[in-house]
């Protein structure tokens, strides 16, 4: 009964406020429509600032659209732990979209991991996954997530000769939910799991001068690895240049045969060309790019390898030029080829730059020691 009285009082307070606002509003010069000398709407009278007249005994009756509606309580955000083997493709797609939104928000026109590729990576290397979202709907409407995984090589040796186990950290939080504590809690859970698994170092690759770099730096990720560049090559803008340079390289690589092969893996197609020596049949090098179904405009994960004894024959240019031409014919929607290149791979940088690549950004690995 008390609650009902409170709602009635609240309604009349709101109704009175609306009436005062209407009476204080300026009068417009427009006149009501007249038919046969009689206005078709009643003309309001009274001085500005006065309450409208009301017939004795007349009650204020709320209109249907003025009925009070209960404000839905904001559902608190929770963090849910997910077993890597229990991750579904739907959830992987949602988490991949969070990553993609972060790249778009930062103005980076680069490829991001697809849902199927993420699902395979989580099941293959994941140690623990945490998803943040509104209560029981966290897995349906995630606003942030973190994962800690085993690095492929797992163990490494530090400068003192001790063996260390490296865990890889990754995650993101939607821009509108940052500075809310979700990121700190997601990170805390990932670090705790890595320590429980016996890992001694946690590493994370981030864009240089980004929010993620500052966030991790302030939370103990003080060791920096050697930066690497992400290079992108606009296929339409560089088509003529690539044709001329590849044709020129063909005369230098006349002693080699270039073979094409492809395979479908985790919702993506890997395009690969290999070079072998025509006389002794030795493998001389390879180049590959991946086109994911989820990001059909990008050919990513570019890699070019030339065996040291075969360098100097422009094989890198020959293989990559043939690879890009093949992808353009097979996947006409692809407009950008992308590759992450360590600073030490100077021969790869030279090949990409010769064909017209540009730097899209710099990535750096940050590390934090757990023990």
Per-residue confidence (pLDDT) for residue 347, from 0 to 100: 87
pTM assigned to the model: 0.72
| 214 and 154, same domain (yes or no) | yes
Asked if residue 137 is part of any domain, the answer here is yes
Q: Is residue 344 part of a domain?
A: yes
Instruction: Provide the domain limits for residue 146.
Output: 77-221
- What distance in Å separates the CA atoms of residue 96 and residue 128, rounded to the nearest whole number? 16
Tell me the two tokens of residue 55.
Answer: 């017939």
Same domain, 180 and 253: no
Structural domain includes residue 345: yes
**Together in a domain, 144 and 261:** no
Q: Which of 221, 251, 282 is the last residue of a domain?
A: 221
Of the residues 221, 242, 264, the one at which a domain ends: 221
Domain count, the chain: 2
Q: What are the structure tokens assigned to 97, written together?
A: 């979209």
Tell me what pLDDT residue 343 has. Answer: 81
Sign of the torsion formed by the C-alpha atoms of 245, 251, 252 and 258: positive
Same domain, 214 and 235: no
In a domain, 111, yes or no: yes
Domain assignment of residue 60, yes or no: no
Residues 249, 113, single domain; the answer is no
Q: Indicate the helix (H) or strand (E) that contains 77.
A: strand 77-82
User: Of all residues in the chain, what percent are helix, strand and coil, respectively (each to 5)?
Assistant: 35, 30, 35
Q: Which of 173, 192, 221 is the last residue of a domain?
A: 221
pLDDT at 76: 85
* 283 is a domain residue: yes
The pLDDT value given to residue 74: 59
Regarding whether 235 and 357 lie in a shared domain, the answer is yes
Same-domain status, 189 and 302: no
Tens-level pLDDT at each residue, the chain (371 residues): 434 444 433 434 444 444 344 444 443 434 434 344 434 444 344 444 444 444 445 544 444 444 444 444 457 899 999 999 999 999 999 999 999 999 999 998 888 889 999 999 999 999 999 999 998 899 999 999 999 999 866 456 666 667 789 999 999 999 999 999 999 999 999 999 999 999 999 999 999 999 999 999 999 999 998 899 999 999 999 999 999 999 999 988 899 999 999 999 988 999 999 999 999 999 999 999 999 988 899 999 989 999 999 999 999 999 999 999 999 999 999 999 999 998 888 888 999 999 999 999 999 999 999 97
Distance (Å, whole) CA 157 – CA 164 = 6
Q: Is residue 199 in a domain?
A: yes
**For position 294, what pLDDT does the model report?**
83
Q: Which SS3 state, helix, strand or coil, does residue 101 take?
A: helix
CA separation, residue 285 to residues 81, 255, 259, 307 (Å)? 43, 13, 11, 6
> Is the residue at 157 inside a domain?
yes
User: What's residue 43's pLDDT?
Assistant: 38
CATH number at residue 324: 3.40.630.30
């Amino acid at each position: 009964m008390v609650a009902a009285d409170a709602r009635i009082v609240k309604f009349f307070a709101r109704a009175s406020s609306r009436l005062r606002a209407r009476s204080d509003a300026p009068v417009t010069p427009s006149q009501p429509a007249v038919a046969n000398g009689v206005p078709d709407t009643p003309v309001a009278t009274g001085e500005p600032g006065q309450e409208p007249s009301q017939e004795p005994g007349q009650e204020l009756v709320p209109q249907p659209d003025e009925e009070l509606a209960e404000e839905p309580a904001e559902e608190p955000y929770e963090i849910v732990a997910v077993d890597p083997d229990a991750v579904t493709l739907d959830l992987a797609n949602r988490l991949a979209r969070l990553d993609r939104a972060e790249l778009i928000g930062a103005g980076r026109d680069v490829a991001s991991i697809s849902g199927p590729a993420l699902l395979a990576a989580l099941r293959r290397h994941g140690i623990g996954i945490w998803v943040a979202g509104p209560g029981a709907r966290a897995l349906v409407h995630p606003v942030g997530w973190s994962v800690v995984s085993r690095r492929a090589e797992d163990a490494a040796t530090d400068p003192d000769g001790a063996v260390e186990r490296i865990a890889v950290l990754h995650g993101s939080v939607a821009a509108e939910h940052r500075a809310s504590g979700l990121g700190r809690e997601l990170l805390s859970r990932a670090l705790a799991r890595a320590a429980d698994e016996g890992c001694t170092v946690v590493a994370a690759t981030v864009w240089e001068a980004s929010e993620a770099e500052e966030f991790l730096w302030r939370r103990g990720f003080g060791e920096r690895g050697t930066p690497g560049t992400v290079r992108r090559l606009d296929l339409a803008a560089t088509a003529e240049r690539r044709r001329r340079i590849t044709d020129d390289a063909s005369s230098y690589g006349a002693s080699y045969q270039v073979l094409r092969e492809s395979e479908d893996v985790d919702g993506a197609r890997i395009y690969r060309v290999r070079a072998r020596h025509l006389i002794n049949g030795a493998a001389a090098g390879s180049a590959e790019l991946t086109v994911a179904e989820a990001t059909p405009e990008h050919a990513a994960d570019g890699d070019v390898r030339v065996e040291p004894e075969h360098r100097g024959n422009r094989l890198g240019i020959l293989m990559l030029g043939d690879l890009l031409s093949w992808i353009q014919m097979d996947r006409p929607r692809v407009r950008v080829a992308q590759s992450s290149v360590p600073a030490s791979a100077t021969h790869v940088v030279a090949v990409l730059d010769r064909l017209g690549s540009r730097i899209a950004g710099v990535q750096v690995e940050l590390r934090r020691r757990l023990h």
